Amino acid sequence: MKVLIQPKPQSLINAFLVFFVVHALQIGVGVQGFQRIIYMDAKHDAWISVILAGLATSIISWIMIKTLNLYPSTDLFGIHFDLYGKWLGGFLNFVYSLYCFGAAFVVIRNYIEVVQAWIFPEVPTWFFSITLLLLIIYGITGGFRIIVGVCFFSIILSIWMLALLAYPLQFANISYLFPVFESNLTDILKGVYNMTFTILGFEIIYIFFPFVKEKNKIQKYVQLSILWTTAIYLTLMIISLAYFSGDQLERTIWATLSLFKIVRLPFIERFEYVAVAFWMLIIIPNLMLYLWAASRGMARVFQKGEKRFVWLFSAGIFISVQFFMTRVEINMINGLFAKCAFLVVFCYPVLLFLLALFKKKVLSTKGGES
C-alpha cells in the first residue's frame, strides 16, 4: 500500500469547505437528545460539561492535524502503514474502517428510531434503511466533491432552524439554571465523557486531509467549525435547562425535538413533524462521510476499488439494523459505541502523534549524523 497519495486535481476542495464538512459531521443524531444524558451526571452544571467537551475536541483536532502535517500528503491509513508496517498497519486500518462502519450504523439506526417514534410508527425498519442507503450510495459514488457539496447545502439549508430556538425562551424559567457549581468535578467530567457520542465526526479529518488544497489553512477552519458547533450545543443545553425542570429533562429522551414541538406557526401546527423530516438532510452527510471513509480504508488495505466496499458496507448496515428494534437495544449499542469511540477519537490520536513525532525525530537525527 502506498503511504503518500496524490488525489486527482478534480477531487480537491478549498480549505474553507472544511468548516462545513466538520460541522456537518458533528451535528447529527446526537444533538436530538444529548441534554438528558449529560444532565443525569452534571445536573445544572451540564453547560460546563458542554464547554469542556468543546475544548477537548479542539485540542484533539489540533493534535490530529499536527500528526497529518508530519507527512507531505497522506491519510490515517498511510500513517499506520508507515509507523506499524504492513501487517499491524493493515490490521489497524481494518479496525478503523470497522469503526467508521459502526458510526454509520449507529447514526442510521437512531434516526430511523426517531422517525418511527414521532411520525411513522407502522412503517417497517427495512423500508427506511434501504431508502436511506440507496440515497447514500448514490452520493458516495459521485465522488468526494459531491459529498462535500451535500455537507455545504445541509448546513446552509438547515441554519434557519436555529432561529426557532428562541420560541421556547418565552416559557423559560431562569431559576432552573441555578444553583451553579452544585456538581463536583467528577460529575462534570462524567458529563464531558457522555458528550462523546454527540460531538463525534471531526476525526474524519484523518481521512479527507489529502483532498484539501491549502493544507496550511485547515487548522483555522477546523477550529472555527468546532467553536461554532460548541456554541450551538451550549445554546441548546442552556435553553433546555431553562425550559425543562430537572425531573422533566431526565424523562425526555429527545429534548431538542421536544423544544420544536411547542413551536406554533400560522400555517403549520405540528412543527416537530417538519423538524424530524428535515433532520434527514442533516444526517445524510454523516452517513456519506462515514461510509466513504470506511470504504476508502478497506480499498487502501486490499488495493481494490472503493465502490465494491460501499455496496458491501451498505448491505452490512441494512442487515445489522434489523437486529436492534427496541429502545433498550438501541441504547445499549449507543453506549457500547460511545465507549469505543472515546478510545478511538480522544485517546488514540495522542499516542499516534507521539509515535509519529518520535519517528520523525529519530530519522532526522540519523540523517544529520550521516
CA distance 224 to 61: 11
Each residue's pLDDT tens digit, 187-234: 999 999 999 888 998 999 999 999 998 888 999 999 999 999 999 999
Is pLDDT above 70 for 369? Answer: no
Look over the chain and give the mean of its residue pLDDT values, rounded to a whole number: 89
Judge contact between 78 and 2, C-beta under 8 A: yes
Tell me the pTM.
0.92
Higher pLDDT, 2 or 318: 318
What is the dihedral sign for C-alpha 154, 157, 163, 164? Answer: negative
pLDDT tops 60 at residue 238: yes
Give the residue carrying C-alpha cell 403549520: 268
Q: How far is CA 201 from CA 21, 76, 196, 303, in A?
A: 9, 15, 10, 26
pLDDT tens for residues 149-192? 999 999 998 888 888 888 888 888 888 788 788 888 899 999 99
Give pLDDT tens digits for 287-296.
999 999 999 9
**Model confidence at 269: pLDDT above 80:** no
For 279-317, write each residue's pLDDT tens digit: 888 899 999 999 999 999 999 888 888 889 999 999 999
Give 11-36 pLDDT, tens digit per residue: 899 999 999 999 999 988 888 889 99
Q: Is the peptide bond between 179 and the residue preceding it cis, with omega within 30 degrees of 0?
A: yes
CA dihedral 314, 74, 196, 359 (to 10 degrees): 140
Which domains does the chain possess?
9-369 (1.20.1740.10)
Spatial neighbors of 257 by CB under 8 A, at least 6 apart, are 32, 33, 114, 118, 272, 275, 276
